């Protein structure tokens, strides 16, 4: 299958070369790359992903084909420099550090203490455990930085609570998927680091801008759960023991480790005492100290944490390097400038073009992994967004929210399959698909609200940066 796709794509590139001329001045190439050539590149892009090729390999191979077919520049002389620049960026070091911190927290049992404490405070609300899912995922996201890590961690903790409960499985899985998706939106989300690296936008400003939208999304999720709770009469059974205030106050001790890490990571960033990378290193040190205090630190736990972190980091790095290679080729052909000129020249207002871009990402997210989506498309669409007059910080928040939607979008949402694989009680994956749909609509509503009131994201960075 892959060989057939390779031959088809090579044929497209050879045809492009013969019609376009292959050689000629580089300036001419930048000025007049034909639309059919762009269509061929896009078709190859879709074909590679449909064929199941690994994302990083697909991006690198597509860059090679596009470079040989449409450019006369000796780009192979610069491949090392292209990859070296992003791989040595100091900000990128924070990615494995944040991942490692989340892995240590999971294996040290800190996430289970967090969930248990929040359930004490929220369990008596209509749909209490569902609210606990959302809030626990939101709090854990403030130290994890990853949607998949948040969904996997909180799913492993939360699902046993529901095995003998009266809650509908679809709503349980949907709330966990929606809450898990918050891992990228709530600082220190990894998507913000990648976006800031590609667009040269301040990661600290992006973190500040994400606070308002994060609160908005969490409140909308909880409002959705309230609505379902009253509609389906989801209340705790009459025989459930009433939680006393003494019990609530005692449970706060289980929140202290997570609160300490949040203050250590985000507090040092917002106070200007540390960069995101330095704060990530502090977070790892803090997680190790907390696991040592709880007597959970051992050699096996650290090896498993580092192995899982290395696996995820390698996947992100390969995608990033392949995307940088492809983006260099496309930029040398002037494609981002052509796309920006085309979209800004449409007889539509700026907000309508932005809706088209959002719709494009929503469609792309149904079959493409969120991180790959950002790394591949941002270099092309970022010039368009700037030409339309939108703030790069605001757009970074919107893109991250679209990544969240992609991670819970059927049929290929990563978070959905993580939760399905963690279910102890058998059931079809359509339970997860149908359960997450209301929360997807809420996420889309939050994006529309952010378009109408951009100050939700921009007010805090304007005051503190």
Q: How much is the pLDDT for 73?
A: 66
Distance CA 355, CA 90 (A): 34
Distance CA 194, CA 203 (A): 9
CB-CB contact of 273 with 264 (8 Å): no
- Which H or E run includes 30? helix 26-31
Q: How much is the pLDDT for 441?
A: 93
Return averaged pLDDT per consecutive 10 residues of the chain, 465 residues in all. 39 40 38 60 70 71 74 67 70 81 81 83 79 89 78 81 80 89 86 88 91 94 90 62 73 84 86 84 91 88 89 77 74 68 76 88 77 79 88 94 88 78 75 90 94 94 80
Q: How much is the pLDDT for 10?
A: 40
Q: How much is the pLDDT for 239?
A: 45
Distance CA 458, CA 391 (A): 9
Q: Please tell me the pTM assigned to this model.
A: 0.76
CB atoms within 10 A of CB 314: 12
CB-CB contact of 142 with 348 (8 Å): no
Q: How much is the pLDDT for 448?
A: 95
Q: What's the chain's Rg over C-alpha atoms?
A: 23
CB-CB contact of 191 with 399 (8 Å): yes
Q: Report the SS3 class of residue 388.
A: coil
DSSP for 57-115, written as a single string: HHHHHHHHHHHHHH--S-GGGGHHHHHHHHHT-GGGGHHHHHHHHHHHHHHHTHHHHHH
CB-CB contact of 91 with 276 (8 Å): yes
Q: How much is the pLDDT for 258?
A: 85
């Amino acid at each position: 299958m892959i060989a057939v796709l390779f031959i088809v794509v090579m044929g497209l590139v050879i045809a492009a070369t013969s019609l376009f001329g292959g050689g000629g001045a580089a300036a001419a190439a930048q000025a007049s790359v034909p639309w059919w050539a762009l269509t061929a590149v896009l078709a190859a892009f879709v074909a590679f992903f449909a064929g199941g090729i690994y994302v990083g390999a697909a991006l690198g191979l597509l860059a090679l084909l596009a470079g040989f077919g449409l450019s006369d520049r000796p780009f192979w002389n610069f491949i090392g420099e292209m990859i070296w620049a992003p791989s040595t960026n100091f900000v990128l070091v924070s990615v494995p550090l944040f991942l490692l911190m989340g892995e240590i927290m999971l294996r040290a049992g800190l996430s289970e203490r967090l969930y248990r404490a929040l359930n004490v405070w929220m369990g008596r609300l209509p749909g209490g455990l569902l609210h606990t899912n959302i809030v626990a995922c939101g709090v854990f996201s403030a130290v994890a930085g990853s949607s998949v890590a948040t969904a996997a961690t909180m799913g492993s903790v939360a699902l046993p609570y529901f095995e003998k409960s009266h809650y509908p499985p679809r709503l349980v899985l949907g709330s966990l998927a929606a809450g898990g998706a918050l891992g990228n939106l709530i600082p220190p989300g990894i998507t913000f680091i990648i976006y800031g690296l590609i667009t040269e936008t301040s990661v600290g400003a992006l973190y500040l801008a994400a606070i308002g939208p994060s609160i908005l999304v969490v409140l909308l999720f909880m409002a959705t759960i309230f609505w379902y709770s009253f509609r389906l009469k989801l209340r705790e059974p009459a025989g459930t023991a009433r939680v006393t205030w003494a019990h609530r106050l005692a449970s706060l001790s289980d929140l202290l480790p997570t609160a300490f890490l949040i203050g250590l990571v985000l507090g040092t960033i917002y106070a200007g005492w540390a960069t995101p990378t330095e704060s990530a290193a502090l977070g790892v040190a803090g997680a190790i100290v907390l696991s040592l205090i709880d007597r959970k630190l051992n050699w096996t736990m650290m090896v498993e944490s580092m192995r899982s972190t290395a696996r995820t980091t390698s996947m992100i790095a390969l995608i990033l390097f392949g995307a940088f290679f492809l983006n260099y080729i496309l930029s040398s052909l002037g494609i981002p400038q052509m796309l920006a000129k085309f979209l800004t020249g449409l007889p539509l207002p700026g907000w309508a073009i932005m809706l088209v871009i959002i719709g494009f990402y929503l469609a792309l997210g149904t079959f493409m992994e969120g991180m790959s989506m950002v790394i591949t498309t941002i270099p092309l669409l970022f010039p368009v967004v700037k030409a339309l007059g939108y703030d790069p910080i605001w757009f970074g928040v919107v893109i991250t929210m679209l990544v969240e939607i992609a991670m819970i979008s059927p049929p290929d949402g990563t978070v959905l399959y993580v939760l399905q694989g963690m279910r102890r009680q058998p059931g079809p994956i359509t339970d997860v698909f149908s359960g997450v749909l209301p929360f997807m609509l809420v996420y889309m509503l939050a994006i529309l609200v952010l378009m109408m009131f951009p100050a939700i994201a921009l007010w805090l960075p304007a005051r503190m940066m």
